[in-house]
C-alpha cells in the first residue's frame, strides 16, 4: 500500500501548484480521496498494540505503546478511510491475539484530562 501526505493527514502542508516532485500523485489522491487514513486509537481492555500489528479488515498499526497518563494502550494506525471516524471499533491482531480498540479524536491526551 502506497501512502502519502494525504493519507497521513498532512495535506495542509502540500501545495501541489508549486510543482514539487510527487505533486501529481498528491493531487490525484486529494481529488479522489484517500483509501486509508492515519488515526489515533485506544485499546479497549488489556494489551498493547505495536508497530506492524495488522488490523482486521485492512490497515496496520504504525506505532503503539502503553500510555502512563491514560493507563491504556494507545497508538496510531492506518485504516480504511470509511473506518477512520472517531468511535469506530477496530480489531487489532496483537501477536495472534485479537484486541479490541476504538478510533479516537486527536489529541488523545489533553492537559488535566
Partner 1 sequence: MAEANYPEDLLYHAEHDWARIDAGDPSLATLGITWYAQDSLGEVVFFDLPAVGASVSKDASYAEVESVKAVSDVIAPLSGEIVEVNQALSDDPQKINDDPYGEGWLVKLRLSNPAEREQLMDAAAYAATLGG
CB of residue 36 to partner 1, shortest distance in Å: 25
Greatest CA separation for the chain: 47
50 binds partner 1 (CB under 8 A): yes
Is the peptide bond prior to 63 cis by the omega test (within 30 degrees of 0)?
no
Q: What are phi and psi of 35, to 5 degrees?
A: -75, -30
65 binds partner 1 (CB under 8 A): yes
Binding residue for partner 1 (CB under 8 A) from 29, 37, 38, 47? 47
d(CA 72, CA 46): 7
Which residues are registered as beta bridge partners of 73?
66
Q: Looking at beta carbons only, is 33 or 68 nearer to partner 1?
A: 68
Part of the chain binding partner 1 (CB under 8 A), chosen from 12-20, 62-70, 74-82, 84-92: 62-70
* 3-state SS assignment for residue 6: coil
Q: Looking at beta carbons only, is 97 or 111 nearer to partner 1?
A: 97
Binding residue for partner 1 (CB under 8 A) from 48, 81, 102, 104? 48
Cβ neighbours of residue 112 under 8 Å, at least 6 residues apart?
Answer: none
Chain residues binding partner 1 by CB under 8 A are: 46-48, 50, 65-66, 68, 73, 95, 97
Amino acid at each position: 500500500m502506497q501512502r502519502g501526505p494525504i493519507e497521513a493527514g498532512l495535506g495542509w502542508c502540500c501545495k501541489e501548484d508549486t510543482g514539487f516532485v510527487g505533486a501529481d500523485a498528491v493531487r490525484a489522491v486529494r481529488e479522489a480521496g484517500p483509501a486509508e487514513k492515519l488515526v489515533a486509537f485506544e485499546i479497549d481492555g488489556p494489551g498493547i498494540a505495536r508497530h506492524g500489528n495488522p488490523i482486521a479488515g485492512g490497515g496496520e498499526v504504525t506505532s503503539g505503546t502503553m500510555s502512563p497518563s491514560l493507563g491504556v494502550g494507545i497508538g496510531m494506525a492506518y485504516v480504511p478511510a470509511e473506518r477512520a471516524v472517531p468511535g469506530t471499533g477496530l480489531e487489532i491482531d496483537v501477536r495472534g491475539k485479537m484486541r479490541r480498540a476504538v478510533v479516537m479524536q486527536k489529541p488523545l491526551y489533553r492537559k488535566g484530562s
